[in-house]
Amino acid sequence: MTDVTSIATDTKTPALRIRDVAKTFSTPHGDVVALKPVSIDIKQGEFIAIIGPSGCGKSTLMNAVGGLLEDYEGTVEVDGKVVRGCHQEIGMVFQEESTFPWRTALDNVAFPLEAAGVGKEERHAKAMELLNLVGLDGFENRFPAELSGGMRQRIAIARTLAFKPRILLMDEPFAALDEQTRLLLGDKVLQIQQELNQTTMLITHNIAEAVQLADRVLIMTFRPGTIKRVVDIDLPRPRSSKMMGGERFGHFVATIWEDLREEASKGLLELEQVRST
Amino acid sequence: MTAVNTATVVPPVRRRAAGKPLLPPLVARLLFLVFAIGFWEVASRYGWINAFTAPAPSAIWSGFIQIIVAGELGAAFVRTFLEALAASAIGAIGGIAIGWWLHSSKKIGLAYTSWVAAAASAPLVLLYPLFLVIFGRNSSTIVAMGALGCMPPIILKAKDGLDGVRPVLLNVGRAFSLTPRQQFTMIQFPAALPVIFTGIRIGLLFAIINVVGVEFLIAFGGLGELISDLGDRFDYPAMYAAIFFVVLVSIAFFYLTEKLEIWLLSSK
Amino acid sequence: MAAIEQIGRGSSASAGKAKPASEFWTVTRLRIAGAIALLAVWEIAGWSGLFFRGVLPSTVFIAQAMFQLLTSAEFYWHLAVTSFEVLVSFLIGCSLGTVVGLVLGSRKYTGDVFEPFIHYLAPTPKIVFLPILLVLFGVGVWSKVALGAISAFFPMALGVAAGVRQVSPVLLRVGKTFNLTTMQTVRMIYLPALVPPLATGLRIGLGISIVGCLLSEYKLAKAGLGFLAGQYYEAFSVANMLAVLVIIFILASLGNTLIEKYVRLPGPGDVQAHR
C-alpha cells in the first residue's frame, strides 16, 4: 500500500473548500429553499461528519460537492481549484445498494477502471488489491446476491477507492445495515481512511457513528438547512468502536443530541402537520 | 472474516394435508401420453376412426422418417429457423431502440406507450396481405411479419426495464464520469437486461408463430409451406408429422427460454 | 399467453396515473402530431414512386372504398359469416377453457399432471392445425370455428387456473368457518376473485379467436371478411383490401374495449390482493 499513502499533503489550502453553497428548488407550488449558504473548510486527511434531521438538505449538499447536482449557488474547491460536476478526485459512497448485481465482486471494483479503459490484467490486479484492503479477499468471484449487505457495501467502498480519490464522500453508507455490522464496518472505514490519509465527509443521522468516526461533527438545522454548530471531537486516534462506552464519548453524544433534538422536533412537527392535513 | 451472517429461522412450510398421490405427476403425465397414443393407434387400426384423415401414430412416424430422409424437413426447418432469427433480430434491435426512445422522455412515453400496448394486443398478423402487396410473395414478407409481431412486447419490456433501473446505479456511473454511451452499455442495458429478456422471449414466440403462420398461409418458405404442400398432396401421415414437429419445436424453444429466464432472474 | 397479461397490466398501471392539465395537453399534442406524421409517411411513401403503383393507395381512396363496402349488401353477408364464426368459437373456446381452468386450478394433483400440456401448447402456432381441421370439419365455417375455439381455449384455461390458485387460503378458511357449501364458496369467494383473470382471458381469447378465424378464411374459405380481403388481394384492388382490414381492426378493438369496460364486476384487488 505504499503508493497509496504518498498523497501530497499541503497544509495551507484546505483539501476541500465549500464556499456559500446553497440550493433552491423551484416546484409548481413555489420555491423551496433546500440549503441556505453553507461554508466548510476541510483539511487534508480530516474526517468530518455532517448530522441533521431528515429533510435538512444533507444529501443536497453531498450531491453538490460530489457533482451529481451541478445547478447550485456558491463554489466547491479542491486544492484551491473550483470544480463543478463529477470529478476523479472525489469519490462517492451511496446509501442505497449500489453494487452491480450482474458483476462479480472483482468486476464491481474494477468497474471504474474498465470505464477508463484500463486493461484487463491491470484492473484486475488493482481490484484485488482493493478487495484485500476492505477485507474481502477470497470473495472476488462471488456475485453481490451471494454476499451479505455489509460485504456489498464494502465492495461499493472498494470501488469508490479505485482511482484513489483524495476526497471521499459518504452518504449514510451504513444506513441499510444492522447495528453490529455498522459498527464493525465503521472501524474498517476508519482504518482505511487513516491508511490512505483521505479527506472524508460523512453524512449520517446516527450520532454515535458521527462521534466514533469524525474529527469534527457539523450539526445542521431543519429546513432550510444550514450549519448550526460545529463540535470538535478530540477523542484520541486510532479510534475504534470499543470507545463507545467511554465517558468522553457519552459526553459528545449528549452534547450533539442537545442541539440536534430541537431540529429533529421541528422536522417531526412538520411531518405530523403534513399528515394531519 | 468479519462477515455478519444473520441466520434467519424459517418456520417449516406447512403442506396441505392430503393423501399422497399414487404416482409422481411427471410419471402420470408420461403414462397418460403413452396411453393416449396407444389408444389412437388401436382406434385407427380397428377403424374406429378414419385412418385416412387421422392416420395412426405408427403411420405418422413413418411419415416423419419419410420427410426426414427426403431432406424436406431439414431444409424447411433451417429456412424457418433463419427467417425467425432474422425477424427477431430486427424486432429486438428495433424494439430496444424504440423502447429506449419511449424511456428517454417522460412525455413521449406518456403519449405513445399506450399505442404500443394497443399494437401488442391487436391482431397484427392479419395485416399480412398488405405486406404481401408491398414485398411480394417471398421471404421479406415473412421476415417483416415476424419482426412486426415480435416488436411490441420487446418495446414495452425494454421501456419497463430501462425505467426500472435504480437511480443510484446511474449516479455511480455519473460519479465516475461515464460517457452517455458507457452509461448505456455498462449500466442501463445490463441492469434492464432481465426485463428486456422477458420481452425478447415473448417476442421470439410471436415471431415464430407469425413466421410459421405466414409461411403456411402463402405456401412459401419453410415448415409452414411444407405442411401446406403435404396437405395439398393428401400425404396426411407426413403432414401430421410436420405439424407435430412444429409443435414440438416451439415447445422445446419455449421450455428452454423459460428455463433461461428463470436462471437469469434468479442469478440477477 | 400469461406473458401478454403481464404486459397489458404493466402498461395500464402506468396509464392510470392522474396527470396535471398542462401535461395532458402536451401529450395530446404529441399524439396528434404522431398520428399526422404516420399518415404523412403513408401518403408520401405512396406518392414517392418507391413502391409499385397502387401498392400504398392514398387514405382518400381507402376511405372511399370503405364507404362503398359499408353500403353494399355483399359486405354484410361476409361480416355476418365472420361474426358467427368468431362468436361461436369464442363461446366454445372460453367456456371449455373456464371449466378446464377451474378443474386444474382447484385440484392440485390434476393440475400438476395436466397443466404442463396446456402451458407448453399455448404458445405454439395454432394455424398449422388448420389442414387437419379442414379434413375433419370441411371447408365451411366449422373448420374456422374449430381453429378459433382451439386458439381461445389456451389463454382462458391458463388464466382461470392461475386465478383459482391465487385465491387467498385465508378467505377459504373464513368460508369454512361459516360452513359455506361448495356452491356458496364458488359464488361468494372464487367467482369475485376470478373476475380479473376471466376478463383478461376473455380479452385475449376474443383477439386470438378473431385471428384464428380470419387466418383460416384467408387460407381457404367460401365466405367471410378474410375471404373477402383475399379476393381483393387476388384482384390487386389494394384500397378495397385495406378497407376490409381497417374494418376488421376497428371491430376487434371495439370488442376488446367492450370486454374491458363491462367485465369488471367487483374491484379486482378485493379478494386477490393478500395472496
Contact yes or no for B32 and C242 at CB 8 A: no
Contact yes or no for B4 and A184 at CB 8 A: yes
pLDDT band (50, 70, 90) for residue C166:
confident
Alpha-carbon span B64 to B199, nearest angstrom: 34
Q: Judge if C244 and C130 occupy the same domain.
A: yes
Task: Give domain status of residue C232, yes or no.
Answer: yes
Q: Give the helix ranges, DSSP H, for chain A.
A: 2-5, 58-66, 105-115, 120-133, 149-160, 179-196, 207-213, 247-276
Q: Please choose, from the candidates B87, B152, B150, the residue with its C-alpha nearest in 3D space to the C-alpha of residue B114.
A: B152
Contact yes or no for B169 and A100 at CB 8 A: yes
DSSP C233: H
Contact yes or no for B3 and A150 at CB 8 A: yes
Alpha-carbon span A229 to C273, nearest angstrom: 49
Closest CB to A68 among B166, B174, B178: B174
Whether A9 shows a pLDDT value over 70: the answer reads: no
Whether A170 shows a pLDDT value over 80: the answer reads: yes
The Cα of B126 is separated from the nearest Cα of chain C by a number of Å equal to 7
Question: Taking CB atoms and an 8 Å cutoff, what residues of chain A touch B190?
Answer: 100, 102
Cell numbers given for B233: 398432396
Question: In degrees, to the nearest 5, what angle opens at C-alpha C119 toward C-alphas B82 and B262?
Answer: 70
- State whether residue B89 sits within 8 Å of chain A by CB: no
Task: Give domain status of residue C12, yes or no.
Answer: no
Q: Judge if C40 and C171 occupy the same domain.
A: no
Question: CB of A127 within 8 A of CB of A110?
Answer: yes
DSSP B11: P
- Is the bond into B24 cis (omega within 30 degrees of 0)? no
Name the one residue in this structure whose C-alpha cell is 444550514: A226
Question: Taking CB atoms and an 8 Å cutoff, what residues of chain B touch A66?
Answer: 175
pLDDT, tens digit (0-9, with 9 covering 90-100), for A68-121: 888 888 888 888 788 887 888 888 888 888 889 888 899 999 998 888 888 889
- State whether residue C53 sits within 8 Å of chain B by CB: no
Characterize the bridge pairing of strands A30-42 and A16-27.
Answer: antiparallel
- The reported pLDDT for the residue numbered A77 is 85
The Cα of A15 is separated from the nearest Cα of chain B by a number of Å equal to 19
Q: Which fold has domain B65-165+196-267?
A: MetI-like fold (1.10.3720)
* Mean pLDDT, rounded, for A120-140: 88
What ipTM does this complex have?
0.80
Contact yes or no for C128 and B216 at CB 8 A: yes
* Mean pLDDT, rounded, for C90-110: 90
Ramachandran category for residue A172: left, alpha or beta (phi over 0 → left; psi -120 to 50 → alpha):
left
With H, G, I as helix, E, B as strand and everything else as coil, classify residue B235: coil
Cα dihedral sign, A235-A237-A243-A246: negative
Question: CB of B161 within 8 A of CB of B194?
Answer: yes
- State whether residue B182 sits within 8 Å of chain A by CB: yes
Question: Taking CB atoms and an 8 Å cutoff, what residues of chain C touch B202?
Answer: 3-4, 7
Distance of CA B258 to the CA centre of its chain: 9
Hey, which residues 129-158 in chain A have their CB within 8 Å of chain B? 135, 143, 145, 147-148, 150-151
- Chains with at least 3 CB pairs less than 8 angstroms from chain C: B
- Chain B to chain C Cβ contacts (< 8 Å): 167
Alpha-carbon span A14 to A239, nearest angstrom: 23
Closest CB to A86 among B6, B175, B191: B175
pLDDT band (50, 70, 90) for residue C17:
very low
- Chains with at least 3 CB pairs less than 8 angstroms from chain A: B
- State whether residue A39 sits within 8 Å of chain B by CB: no
Whether C22 shows a pLDDT value over 80: the answer reads: no
Cell numbers given for B182: 458507457
Hey, which residues 252-271 in chain C have their CB within 8 Å of chain B? 252-253, 256
Domain boundary among C7, C28, C54: C54
* Mean pLDDT, rounded, for A200-216: 87
Closest A-chain CA to B178: A115
* Mean pLDDT, rounded, for C59-87: 90
Alpha-carbon span C51 to A168, nearest angstrom: 62
Alpha-carbon span A193 to B81, nearest angstrom: 58
Q: Judge if C133 and C193 occupy the same domain.
A: yes
Task: Give domain status of residue C42, yes or no.
Answer: yes
Alpha-carbon span A108 to A112, nearest angstrom: 8
The Cα of A231 is separated from the nearest Cα of chain B by a number of Å equal to 30
Domain ranges of chain A: 2-12+20-74+180-276
- The reported pLDDT for the residue numbered B8 is 39
Question: CB of A108 within 8 A of CB of A126?
Answer: no
- The reported pLDDT for the residue numbered A275 is 66
Contact yes or no for B175 and A188 at CB 8 A: no
Question: Taking CB atoms and an 8 Å cutoff, what residues of chain C touch B117?
Answer: 7-8, 11-12, 15
The Cα of B205 is separated from the nearest Cα of chain C by a number of Å equal to 7
The Cα of B74 is separated from the nearest Cα of chain C by a number of Å equal to 18
- State whether residue B168 sits within 8 Å of chain A by CB: yes
- State whether residue C59 sits within 8 Å of chain B by CB: no
Task: Give domain status of residue C8, yes or no.
Answer: no
Question: CB of B62 within 8 A of CB of B237?
Answer: yes
- Is the bond into A101 cis (omega within 30 degrees of 0)? no
Q: Determine what percent of chain C is predicted with pLDDT higher than 70.
A: 87
- The reported pLDDT for the residue numbered C153 is 94
Hey, which residues 142-181 in chain C have their CB within 8 Å of chain B? none
Q: Please choose, from the candidates B40, B58, B57, B36, the residue with its C-alpha nearest in 3D space to the C-alpha of residue B49.
A: B40
- The reported pLDDT for the residue numbered A4 is 38
β-partners of residue A35 are A23, A225
Q: Please choose, from the candidates A58, A62, A4, A98, the residue with its C-alpha nearest in 3D space to the C-alpha of residue A200.
A: A62
Question: Taking CB atoms and an 8 Å cutoff, what residues of chain C touch B217?
Answer: 127, 215, 218-219
Residue with the bigger pLDDT between C41 and A264: it is C41
β-partners of residue A27 are A30
Alpha-carbon span B184 to B186, nearest angstrom: 6
Alpha-carbon span B233 to C109, nearest angstrom: 43
Question: Taking CB atoms and an 8 Å cutoff, what residues of chain B touch A86?
Answer: 174-177
Contact yes or no for B191 and A102 at CB 8 A: yes
Give the predicted TM-score (pTM) of the model: 0.79
DSSP C114: H
Q: How big is chain A, counted in residues? A: 277
Long-range residue pairs from B127-132, CB within 8 A, at least 24 positions apart, any chain = B127/C245, B128/B214, B128/B217, B128/B218, B128/C218, B129/C218, B129/C229, B129/C230, B129/C233, B129/C241, B129/C245, B130/C238, B130/C241, B130/C242, B130/C245, B132/B218, B132/C233
Contact yes or no for B110 and C207 at CB 8 A: no
Cell numbers given for B141: 414478407
- State whether residue C229 sits within 8 Å of chain B by CB: yes
Closest CB to A148 among B5, B175, B187: B5
Question: CB of A23 within 8 A of CB of A34?
Answer: yes
Q: Judge if C196 and C123 occupy the same domain.
A: yes
With H, G, I as helix, E, B as strand and everything else as coil, classify residue C264: coil
Phi/psi of residue A137, nearest 5 degrees:
-65, 140
From residue A5, give the alpha-carbon distance in Å to each of A13, A129, A137, B19, C210. 19, 14, 21, 70, 73
Sheet with A30-42, edge to edge strand ranges: A30-42, A16-27, A73-78, A81-83
- CATH class held by domain A2-12+20-74+180-276: alpha beta
CATH code, domain with C217: 1.10.3720.10
Question: Taking CB atoms and an 8 Å cutoff, what residues of chain C touch B54?
Answer: 132, 136
Characterize the bridge pairing of strands A199-204 and A73-78.
Answer: unpaired
- The reported pLDDT for the residue numbered C20 is 63
Alpha-carbon span B166 to B173, nearest angstrom: 12
pLDDT, tens digit (0-9, with 9 covering 90-100), for C218-263: 888 888 899 998 888 888 888 899 999 999 888 888 888 888 777 6
Residues of chain B falling short of pLDDT 50: 1-17, 268
First to last CA, chain A: 57
The Cα of B4 is separated from the nearest Cα of chain C by a number of Å equal to 32
The Cα of A97 is separated from the nearest Cα of chain B by a number of Å equal to 8
Question: CB of B268 within 8 A of CB of A101?
Answer: yes
Number of folded domains in chain C?
2
Contact yes or no for B254 and C123 at CB 8 A: yes
From residue C33, give the alpha-carbon distance in Å to each of B120, C245, C246. 21, 24, 21
**A264-268, C86-90, C148-152, C202-206: segment of lowest average pLDDT:** A264-268
Question: Taking CB atoms and an 8 Å cutoff, what residues of chain B touch C25?
Answer: none
Cell numbers given for B178: 461515464
Q: Please choose, from the candidates A56, A163, A145, A67, the residue with its C-alpha nearest in 3D space to the C-alpha of residue A105.
A: A145
From residue A34, give the alpha-carbon distance in Å to each of A71, A77, B108. 13, 21, 30
Closest B-chain CA to C128: B243
Domain ranges of chain B: 65-165+196-267
Contact yes or no for C4 and B202 at CB 8 A: yes
- Chain A to chain B Cβ contacts (< 8 Å): 75
Whether C97 shows a pLDDT value over 90: the answer reads: yes
- The reported pLDDT for the residue numbered C264 is 60
Question: CB of B223 within 8 A of CB of B242?
Answer: yes
The Cα of B190 is separated from the nearest Cα of chain A by a number of Å equal to 7
Q: What dihedral do alpha carbons B86, B89, B90, B92 form, nearest 10°?
A: 150
Q: Judge if C45 and C156 occupy the same domain.
A: no
With H, G, I as helix, E, B as strand and everything else as coil, classify residue A37: strand
Cell numbers given for A122: 491491470
Cα dihedral sign, A100-A105-A110-A112: positive
- The reported pLDDT for the residue numbered B189 is 92
Question: Taking CB atoms and an 8 Å cutoff, what residues of chain A touch B177?
Answer: 86-88
Q: Please choose, from the candidates A152, A149, A162, A171, the residue with its C-alpha nearest in 3D space to the C-alpha of residue A68.
A: A171
- The reported pLDDT for the residue numbered C270 is 37
Q: Please choose, from the candidates A271, B76, B118, A260, the residue with its C-alpha nearest in 3D space to the C-alpha of residue C203.
A: B118
Question: Taking CB atoms and an 8 Å cutoff, what residues of chain A touch B175?
Answer: 66-68, 86, 90-92, 160
Alpha-carbon span A151 to A166, nearest angstrom: 23
From residue B243, give the alpha-carbon distance in Å to each of B57, B97, C133, C173, C218. 13, 35, 12, 46, 19
Question: CB of C158 within 8 A of CB of C1?
Answer: yes
- What is the domain range of residue C24? 20-54
- State whether residue C65 sits within 8 Å of chain B by CB: no
- The reported pLDDT for the residue numbered C186 is 76
Side-chain-facing half-sphere of B166: CA atoms under 13 Å: 11
Alpha-carbon span C152 to C130, nearest angstrom: 15
Contact yes or no for B110 and C19 at CB 8 A: yes
